[in-house]
Structure 1
Amino acid sequence: MSITLYDFPAKRTEHSAWNPNVWKTRYSLAYKSLPYRTVLVEFPDLERTMERLGAAPTETKPDGSPKYTLPVIHDAATNAVVSDSVSIAQYLDETYPSPPLFPNGTHAFHASFNDIFPVRIEPMLQFLIPSIASVLNPRSEEYFRHTRKEMFGKDLTELYPAKGSERREIEWRRFEEGFGMLDKSMRKCDILIMGGNMPCFADFTVAGWLRSFRTVFGEASEEWEDIMQWHDGRWYRFMKALEKYENDAVQPIHARL
């Protein structure tokens, strides 16, 4: 296997492969039938591991220092180290062109989609992010809670809408409406975003977020079952169509510092 994918671990096997952005890359690699190995990195070890690997930071911290995020891949065949799911998808198309993640004529569409979709699903974050903390190993959970408190200005317990509350009902409907905007832009007969039978990176972007939610909350959860009924079952059909590209069974190894 020439490609190494860096991901975060979880405390239980059923919660492995929980990160939505890493899921985009997992889908992309599986779609292109590219074998890979997974290296797991705890949150407190991420910066040192990525600096040692030579990965580029993807964001900037409030103090101006570089911030590293996952996914990151290292392709031993080319010695390329690529950060960020979109950049990774672009690299994969350049290096392993078939089948394409960005079909000809869709680059402008994807650029717009990558700008708009995160805004549409913003209500999802207050449900997903606090729940992610509970699936992490203790070191990562402590780090995650601390850094997210700095980011949001409140504890994750305050961010999460309590069950049975009016706020939860309102925010859950906003979450549904965010996906409803995408539903309205697709024909009723479409399963994939651009129609037809071949997925593109936009499909894997949506699926990555949904797959993360399913992993964290559980397939039998009330929340996931509700999502699968939204918009006449569109997202159930959508996830079933992409199920063959779900590959979270790769045996991971932990990064050694």
Structure 2
Amino acid sequence: MHPMTRVSLALAVCAGLAACAGPAREVRVSQGPAIEGQAWRLVGTSSGDKVPGSGAGSATLEFKRDRFSLSGPCNQHTGGYQRSGTEIRFGGEGRQIASTMRACPGELMVRESSLLSAMSQPLELVFEGPYLSLVAADGASWRFDSRAEQPSAEGVDRIVQIAGQRAPCTGVAGGLCLQYRDQPGAPWQYLHGEIEGFEWQMGVEYVLRIREYGVANPPADASARRWMLLEVLDRSRP
């Protein structure tokens, strides 16, 4: 066979194969499970921090289109994000994360700063059933749950500041009550009763995470609520 004939035949075969193969198909990279349209509750960290599921000190992450919002552990945060497969970047396209400037107890600010610092770098999305973890390059991680927290009748979590001095009040044996407030600088209020599990020391100011329970039919000289200590967030001597 003449050499030119062999070349022409080869070209014809190649053209035929290309025609059989049809048009080139677009190759798409799987984005993995969807993260939009649900509230992700922070339920754990690799550092072992105690994370309340709701109330004071809790955090919820939500995604909507190209924006995210993070509520807690102290402030409100929002900004853009970009996702590529299992990698996510918060504050995408040079957009910064905007945050409120609420004053919070030191321990909560440390937790919040740690999470925001991690969100300034690319993070890996790890899915496990209803859970989503944000994993940093150094292995630090924050675990979120997409399931709604089950309602509980066991009380409500609060963060309160306790004064280093008791004050005269009525309805309490001895006439001296603990003083508390919900925000730094707010007026002190009287707590008619003690905080279960809490050992108060004169001259020391505390920031506590407590659980408040209602008391059905309390005596006339007693409080209609009961407080139980969950965590001492901060202590200082003014």
Greater fraction of residues in strand: 2
* TM above 0.5: no
Instruction: Compute the TM-score of the two structures, normalised by the length of structure 2.
Output: 0.25
**Higher RCO by CA contacts (8 Å cutoff, separation 6 or greater):** 1
Q: Which has the larger radius of gyration?
A: 2
Instruction: Compute the TM-score of the two structures, normalised by the length of structure 1.
Output: 0.23
